[in-house]
Structure 1
Amino acid sequence: MVYIHLPGQHQPVQVDSIVWLKSEANYTWVYFLDGSSKIISQPLGWFEKKLDFIRIHRSSLANPVHVKHFSQKKSRTGSIELVNGMTLMVSRNRLEHTVTRLKQISGLSRL
């Protein structure tokens, strides 16, 4: 199991318990598998350097382990559905990278 120490938290957190992250100025909302969330005083880029998550939007990172489904429309927009039922939009600029990473990580079964 891989853990990360989140700034301001006493106990390290198991990386697989993190579903996705959302940027809010110089803070990041961390959303967990159990439905809880915490705001951390680090920008999203800090997490991007430390975690092997997919940057799906300028303000979002997704844990590929928790991507249930990916869909792409002809208009070059896309979205991912996470195991917790949340649907997140994939930006046009990050679409190709998202597809490539999902194929590398999880194979074609979810694409």
Structure 2
Amino acid sequence: MLAKIPECHGCGSDGKISVQPHAKVKTMSTSLVGGWSAFNFELSSAAREVFQEAVRHLLGVSYTPFAFATQVVAGTNYSYLAQAKTVAPESSLRVVRVHIFQPLPGKGEPHVTQIIAIEP
């Protein structure tokens, strides 16, 4: 059984679709103002420096970042994926998401805003 195709309302009298030379076409952007970037699994030296500066005061757990994403606001939000290991014998390795805010230059130092355990 063949499906009936509805009449084309965008076609000319000859049945062909006409294309307007100045028609506006919406395209998807890979970045959104205020949106998060994709995770980058190659940490830049700047991203590594922000991470180290923010976690240097945390005691009891050693964090090793392996990916990061950014969001530009009035400063920069960073979301890092990191390995977390409690500094104790026979402790297990976990994966966490570490959120860090880096204020605009001259407005303060980067600081941890949240650490979230990622469950399997």
The alignment's TM-score, normalised by the length of structure 1, stands at 0.27
Larger Cα-atom Rg: 2
Between Structure 1 and Structure 2, the one with more helix by share is: 1
Structure 2-normalised TM-score?
Answer: 0.25
